[in-house]
Amino acid sequence: MEENSNFIKTIIKEDLESGKRNKVITRFPPEPNGYLHIGHAKSIIINFGLADEFNGTTNLRFDDTNPLKEDQEYVDSIKEDVKWLGYEWENLFYASNYFEEMYERAVLLIKKGKAYVDDLTQEQIREYRGTLTEPGKESPFRNRSIEENLNLFEQMRKGEFENGAKVLRAKIDMSSPNINLRDPVIYRVSHATHHNTGDTWCIYPMYAFAHPLEDAIEDVTHSLCTTEFEDQRPLYDWVVRECDMASTPQQIEFGRLNISNTVMSKRKLKQLVDEGFVDGWDDPRLPTISGLRRKGYTPEAIREFVIAAGVSKGSGTVDAQMLEHFVREDLKLKAPRTMGVLKPLKVVITNYPEDQVEWLDAEVNPENPEMGVRQIPFSREIYIEQEDFMEDPPKKYFRLFPGNEVRLKHAYFIKCEEFIKDEAGNVVELRCTYDPETKSGSGFTGRKVKGTLHWVDAKSALPAEFRLYEPLILESDEKNEEVIEGKTFLDYVNENSLEIVQGFIEPNMKDAKPQDKFQFFRHGYFNVDEKHTSKSKLVFNRSVSLKSSFKL
């Protein structure tokens, strides 16, 4: 969070200077009901980053107040993702461990005449709540005696009522223009097994009541959340105050992160997974932390991106290219260079000795010489990229075409003498000649060529699979113009978001392991896929392509 200024940082700084606070404690409070995505990463980075900057601490707290939706599977994945992003929590907490205290605070509210048990059905409660423009009306059960409320609430806890039969409501103001203050439900009956507390409870607190208590219990100073909770802030403060909490956390809201060409809500992500548009929560096309990890994005890149995008109350959409920029930026000095041919075209170098193999020196990363040198074999038959040859090229095409000479990276100049087509008219083989004097590293300056191609030695190359990704969601003009009847985001899913090709890589890649990252020359950065890679074949996910100003 170092360099950039933002409004939350300003608030914290002032709180510390004015003496309002003498420490900073934040928390990252996910509900364990799904996988984390890059929007959560923003929250993690803000909460941990800000606390860090002011020598404070951050807790990881599972906001597990709804047993119907939560599961241990999610708490495990969330812990893994937070760690992977590079953060260490001060404490690991569960909101469900505070259920007893929350219950006591609810009893306190009842005793103060600030809460009551309501028998209205769910539908009735909705009707009584009023609308955005009309005030609500009070429930006929609103003025029960404190004794009766106390008794009823205890019976709720004891399991004497069915799901939905009764709720506990805060008694605030049914005519408030802020709907959140129209006697919000703070406890509901739910006979369900909780992943942490088992069958101990059959009543569970609602977020609006539980969250401020959780923050206060943990002595959180700055409770940072997204803007959709802004309307809840008066209620948040009301709960802290009326429950006589010793600590007074302050809720501050920031704008959610949106990124172009993708979706960022658990609901939509789940839909894409459930309906088979992708192959799981960790599909590299998804903005989930596990998906980005599998795609080859790094924690550093994600962090730099989030920091660069900034923190404000606005709700804009950041260009996905900005994220990609930080991935390239981070991998530039880290990823070894290597050559891989995605769509092979055989080239026979006719004047090269039949059984000769040369081992050529190649720097592992020209921008980071410390990474050393590797050896690559070169012989009479190689593969180049199909798109690096054109029979009849346009102007300024400086790759291979009949009569043209190019450089083979780390090797020699070769000149295209002839090309062979199959009966369908596809070019299937090139016949070239090489010039021994032009060997890389020899200092040859006799003539220059405009193009440098990557290649692999045909005999020793290893087969490999490459998975190339395009944006999952297509941004359409329609989407921004008139609303098309019945269309949802699923209608904008890109059917060509995944392309799988079979190619070849340098033989020295044989020991690459899942999550190893490389830059394939002229193609981009790739990550060894952990799911599909087998003993017999490496599978690479393209993390991000290289920028290119080349256009045909």
Residues 305-324 close enough to bind RNA by CB under 7 A = 308-319, 321-322
Neighbouring residues of 128: CB distance < 8 A, sequence distance ≥ 6: 120, 136, 137, 138, 139, 174
x/- contact string, 229-248, with RNA (CB under 7 A)? Answer: xxxx----------------
* Residues from 471 through 490 that contact RNA (CB under 7 A): none
Q: Decide: is 88 part of the binding site for RNA (CB under 7 A).
A: no
Q: Are strands 538-545 and 524-528 parallel, antiparallel or unpaired?
A: antiparallel
Asked if 391 interacts with RNA (CB under 7 A), we say: no
**223/440 with CB nearer RNA:** 440
Tell me the C-alpha distance between 8 and 53, whole Å.
12
Q: 163 with 190: CB under 8 angstroms?
A: yes
If binding is defined by CB under 7 A, does position 496 make contact with RNA?
no
Which residues, 367 to 386, sit near RNA by CB under 7 A? 367
Residues in contact with RNA, shown as a per-residue x/- string from 278 to 297 under the rule CB under 7 A: --------------------
Check residue 179 for interaction with RNA (CB under 7 A).
yes
Interface residues for RNA in 249-268 (CB under 7 A)? 255, 260
510 classed as catalytic: no
Contact 23, 326 (CB under 8 A): no
Cα–Cα–Cα angle for 105, 109, 110, rounded to 5 degrees = 120
* Closer residue to RNA (CB): 84 or 398: 398
Which parts of 200-319 fold into alpha helices (H)? 207-217, 233-242, 266-274, 289-295, 299-309
Q: Is 31 a catalytic residue?
A: yes
Instruction: Give the nearest distance from C-beta 536 to RNA in angstroms.
Output: 28
| Residue of 290, 440, 527, 533 that binds RNA (CB under 7 A) | 440
- CA quadruple 154, 158, 160, 166: dihedral positive or negative? positive
The single residue of 144, 266, 380, 467 carrying the catalytic annotation is 266
From 79, 129, 142, 256, the catalytic residue: 256
By CB under 7 A, tell whether 446 contacts RNA.
no
Q: Which is nearer to RNA, 206 or 272 (CB)?
A: 206
* Residue placing its CB nearer to RNA in the complex, 208 or 345: 208
Instruction: Write the DSSP symbol of residue 106.
Output: H
Q: Within positions 205 to 224, which residues make up the interface with RNA, using CB under 7 A?
A: 206-208, 211
CB of 550 to RNA, least distance (A): 3
| 3-state DSSP of 353-379 | CCCCCEEEEEECCCCCHHHCEEEEEEC
Residues 6+ apart with CB under 8 A from 118: 125, 139, 141, 142, 166, 167, 168, 169, 183, 185
Give strand pairing partners of 284.
Answer: none
Residue number with CB closer to RNA (84 or 397): 397
Annotation marks residue 293 as catalytic: no
Binder among 141, 397, 401, 489 for RNA (CB under 7 A): 397
Strand ordering across the sheet containing 456-457: 452-453, 405-408, 413-421, 427-435, 344-349, 381-385, 456-457
Q: How many residues bind RNA (CB under 7 A)?
A: 90
Query: Is 122 a residue that touches RNA (CB under 7 A)?
Result: yes
- Residues assigned a catalytic role: 31, 256, 266
